[in-house]
Structure 1
Amino acid sequence: MYLIGLTGGIASGKSTVAKRLAELGAVHIDADRLARDVVEPDTPGLAAIATEFGSSVIQPDGSLDRAALGAIIFSDATKRDRLNAITHPLVWSRTLELIREAEENDPFAVVVYDVALLAEAAADRRLAFDLIVVVHADAETRIVRMIRDRGLSRAEAAARISAQASDSERLAIADVVIDNTGTVDATRAQADMVWRRALLALT
């Protein structure tokens, strides 16, 4: 098995790279999806969030009010850290289960763990990867994308960028940097090079 940690700041285009690698045959594990799964109604994760942040972040149907929680954590780094302390261990535990399943199904699998907050993770978790790929775009490009694609204000987009690791922190952990300031085809071509590198490592 060859394990790739794929990361990038919000609106960097990480999903484009993940999609391309999956098209080529990689097993895609999406940390964002797992983060939603571990806070579904009636899960220990959601119960812990309700205890920490109060009933205002729980909707009448018992699900997480993501907008209400986001308003809290994007304006307060301490509260954001408290949320991460709840969700990150749960996501990582499920990730390890999925990685083991992928290897059991195919010892020569290429597994891509698609995770926005890899630079923020503990160093021992980063050591689990054979290759760390960082998808990079400058902050202004990402702000424009969030305004255009997500309907955020400039201030909201900037707040989301500042809530994550800096570009320099992310680039410092990279084995490969994919520049996503050009065309989609150019980004996909760079993803193809990562795929070939993984296959070569498995031979």
Structure 2
Amino acid sequence: MTSKLTVGLTGGIASGKSAVASAFQRMGVKIIDADVVARQIVEPGQPALAEIMARFGEDIVDSDGQLRRRALREIVFADDAARADLETITHPRIRQGLAAERDSAQSDYCLLVVPLLVKSSMIDLVDRVLVIDAPEATQLERLMSRDDIDEPLARRMIAAQDSRADRLAMADDVLINTGPRKDIADLAAALHAGYLRLAQGEVDDLPPLLLPG
């Protein structure tokens, strides 16, 4: 176990991870988001961006030197080898950034938001796993609307992630995010109360929690 309780928040794309993380943040929990770290490591001048350009070509950046994320996404979700190459470049750096932020966190416990917690081999960074769950049909609808993409690309993006079965198999706690958004705060508060008890040493462990939404 790490010196500070670290909860890994994961879930399929468009399952509502950001909404749940925001609810925890409002309660004073340090949120460390792999997507934020992933954006930081590909800023202009960063070594990862240079490696991405070497692998995918200089036209993968725009005239300002910024990564053309949509273009890269379309490439890697159509080609498994290309996606593996990208992950080889980015995942070690994302892991390093997450670990550094976790180790400097000041809240009672921290939340690592990592979509690919299993596939990225980052599960050893956390002590407990919270899965945000939603049926694939719900994910598909949200993703197409959110990212303005067609169904084939949305399905490829969902398929590239940890499977729903794999996520649920590794979960200590599950929050089912299919209800109204206003319910998220109450569900997160119930989890937060248990995590605080665990972080402060009031209990040695918590029973698995299943929170329908």
Aligned pair partner of 2:160 in 163, 170, 173: 163
Q: Within 2, Cα distance between the matches of 1:42 and 1:115? A: 25
Q: Within 2, Cα distance between the matches of 1:4 and 1:37? A: 22
Q: Within 2, Cα distance between the matches of 1:68 and 1:90? A: 22
Aligned partners of 1:31 and 1:91 also within 8 Å: yes
Secondary structure of the equivalent of 2:20?
helix
Q: Deviations over 1:46-91 (max 9, x none)?
A: 0111111111212222111112211110101111011011101111
Q: Is residue 90 of structure 2 the alignment partner of residue 91 of structure 1? A: no
User: 4+ residue stretches of structure 1 with deviation over 3 A?
Assistant: none
Give the total of aligned pairs.
197
Unaligned segments of structure 1, at least 5 residues? none
Other-structure match for 1:115: 114
Q: Within 2, Cα distance between the matches of 1:202 and 1:35? A: 28
Q: Is residue 199 of structure 2 the alignment partner of residue 175 of structure 1? A: no
Q: Is residue 134 of structure 2 the alignment partner of residue 137 of structure 1? A: yes
Aligned pair partner of 1:195 in 154, 168, 192: 192
Q: Which has the higher contact order (CA 8 A, sep 6+)?
A: 1
Q: Within 1, Cα distance between the matches of 2:80 and 2:186? A: 37
Secondary structure of the equivalent of 2:125?
coil
Q: How does 1:2-41 map to 2 (within 5 A)?
A: 2-41=5-44
Q: Which moves more between the two structures, 165-174 or 12-21?
A: 165-174
Q: Within 1, Cα distance between the matches of 2:125 and 2:34? A: 15
Name the amino acid aligned to 1:185: K
Aligned pair partner of 1:151 in 148, 151, 154: 148
Unaligned segments of structure 2, at least 5 residues? 201-213
Q: Within 2, Cα distance between the matches of 1:45 and 1:59? A: 16
Structure with greater helix percent: 1
Q: Which moves more between the two structures, 90-99 or 58-67?
A: 58-67
Q: Which moves more between the two structures, 68-77 or 53-62?
A: 53-62
Q: Identity of counterpart residues, as a percentage? A: 35
Q: Within 1, Cα distance between the matches of 2:118 and 2:57? A: 29
Other-structure match for 2:45: 42
Name the amino acid aligned to 2:119: E
Secondary structure of the equivalent of 1:117?
coil
Q: Structure 1 residues 94, 170: CA separation in 2 closer, same or farther (over 3 Å shift)?
A: same
Q: Within 1, Cα distance between the matches of 2:66 and 2:19? A: 29
Q: Deviations over 1:82-124 (max 9, x none)?
A: 101110111111111111111xxx3x621111111112122xx
Task: Supply the RMSD in Å over aligned alpha carbons.
Answer: 1.4
